[in-house]
């Protein structure tokens, strides 16, 4: 069985590399650029790195990097926050069903699809241009186990039958200037996620630490999930991990990450991301004013929320 899986993965990697062959042949510079709403979807080649960004129309210097792929190793997750999102496997090491709000360059779906041949991954994204960029430049191909719907991430989840449960739910949604949608950060949204979680399922959320309402978003997450862990990356991103399952101590998290690392032979270090995790009282130490933060609700966004990123 293991040999059969390894043979499939070898074949799959070859297919990914074949889909990336035309990108390999392109000269350095912008290889994809299309207008989409308030921003441009751009893909730029820099030697062996392909970078997917959203560039604001108003401030062309405002460039939010969405995804990066290494053409020499397309299954390597270059961005450490994407590595941290893979920590969901610590809680669900053989997930059958995963939902991801936000598609970007589809780095996480591509990697999950490769290493877990039994998994079914459903994604939702509002931007068809971004999906086109991912399929054209990042080696993505849809099949019975990987799909994307052009739809608001919350709306997609709301329309699912109540009986549909996911082992892992991820949200990674930003506009070109770094704005994180309010409707994907409220208590009501996380309660919706909770309703669609399998037993001991886990939710992971990517946030920017420079977000003016970062503490409020963490506090809101804590109001729904009894166990909350944070994997910070420098002063840039933090991945929130929430579950209502049993408590996992730090040493258990690292031990499980090592088991996954050894089993899958990831080219990135899931162990390092596990070591970075902060738990319990450590959250207050790394998140200023967490104790004073208010819980976010659908009907009462805080003053200034919708213009906090329009700088």
Domain limits, the chain: 73-299
Residue-level pLDDT at 122 = 98
Length of the chain: 311
Is the model's pLDDT at 16 over the cut of 50? yes
What does the alpha-carbon distance between residue 78 and residue 74 come to, in Å, rounded to a whole number? 9
What does the alpha-carbon distance between residue 109 and residue 95 come to, in Å, rounded to a whole number? 13
**pLDDT averaged over the chain?**
92
What does the alpha-carbon distance between residue 193 and residue 168 come to, in Å, rounded to a whole number? 10
Helix (H, G, I), strand (E, B) or coil at 267: coil
pLDDT tens track for 142-187: 999 999 999 999 999 999 999 999 999 999 987 645 567 899 999 9
What does the alpha-carbon distance between residue 125 and residue 101 come to, in Å, rounded to a whole number? 6
Residue 74 and residue 134 in contact, taking contact as beta carbons nearer than 8 Å: no
What does the alpha-carbon distance between residue 10 and residue 117 come to, in Å, rounded to a whole number? 12
pLDDT tens track for 205-248: 999 898 889 999 999 999 999 999 999 988 888 999 999 999 99
pLDDT tens track for 75-127: 999 999 999 999 999 999 999 999 999 998 999 999 999 999 999 999 999 99
Is the model's pLDDT at 310 over the cut of 70? no
Sequence-distant (6+) residues with CB within 8 A of 265 are none
Tell the burial category of 84 from Cβ atoms under 10 Å away from its Cβ (0-12, 13-18, 19+): buried
Residue-level pLDDT at 311 = 40
Closest CA relative to residue 38, chosen from 68, 67, 61, 59: 59
Give me the helices (H) in the chain, please: 2-19, 21-24, 80-85, 88-91, 107-115, 128-137, 153-158, 187-195, 214-222, 250-264, 270-276, 282-286
Within a 10 A sphere around the Cβ of 199, how many other Cβ atoms? 8
Instruction: Please tell me what DSSP assigns to residue 292.
Output: G
Instruction: Retrieve residue 126's tokens.
Output: 């509002």
Instruction: Retrieve residue 209's tokens.
Output: 């630490």
Please state which CATH number belongs to domain 73-299: 3.40.50.150
Residue 116 and residue 93 in contact, taking contact as beta carbons nearer than 8 Å: no
Is the model's pLDDT at 262 over the cut of 80? yes
């Amino acid at each position: 069985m293991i040999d059969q899986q390894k043979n499939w993965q070898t074949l799959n990697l070859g297919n990914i590399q074949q889909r990336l062959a035309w990108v390999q042949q392109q000269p350095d510079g912008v290889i994809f650029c299309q207008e989409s709403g308030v921003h441009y979807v751009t893909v730029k080649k820099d030697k062996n790195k392909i970078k997917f960004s959203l560039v604001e129309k108003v401030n062309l210097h405002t460039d939010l990097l969405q995804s990066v792929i290494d053409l020499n190793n397309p299954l390597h997750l270059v961005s450490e926050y994407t590595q941290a999102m893979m920590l969901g496997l610590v809680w669900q090491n053989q997930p059958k069903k995963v939902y991801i709000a936000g598609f970007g360059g589809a780095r996480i779906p591509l990697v999950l699809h490769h290493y877990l041949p039994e998994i079914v991954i459903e994604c939702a994204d509002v931007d068809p241009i971004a999906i086109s960029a991912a399929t054209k430049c990042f080696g993505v191909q849809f099949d019975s186990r990987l799909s994307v719907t052009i739809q608001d991430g919350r709306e997609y989840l709301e329309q699912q039958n109540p009986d549909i449960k996911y082992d892992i739910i991820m949200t990674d949604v930003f506009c070109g200037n770094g704005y994180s949608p309010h409707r994907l950060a409220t208590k009501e949204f996380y309660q919706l996620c909770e309703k669609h979680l399998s037993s001991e399922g886990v939710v992971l959320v990517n946030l920017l630490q420079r977000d003016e309402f970062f503490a409020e978003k963490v506090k809101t997450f804590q109001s729904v999930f009894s166990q909350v862990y944070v994997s910070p990356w420098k002063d840039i991103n933090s991945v929130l991990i929430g579950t209502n399952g049993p408590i996992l101590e730090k040493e258990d998290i690292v031990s499980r990450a090592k088991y996954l690392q050894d089993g899958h032979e990831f080219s990135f270090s899931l162990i390092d991301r596990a070591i970075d995790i902060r738990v319990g009282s450590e959250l207050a130490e790394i998140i200023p004013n967490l104790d004073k933060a208010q819980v976010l609700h659908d009907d009462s966004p805080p003053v200034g929320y919708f213009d906090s990123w329009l700088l």
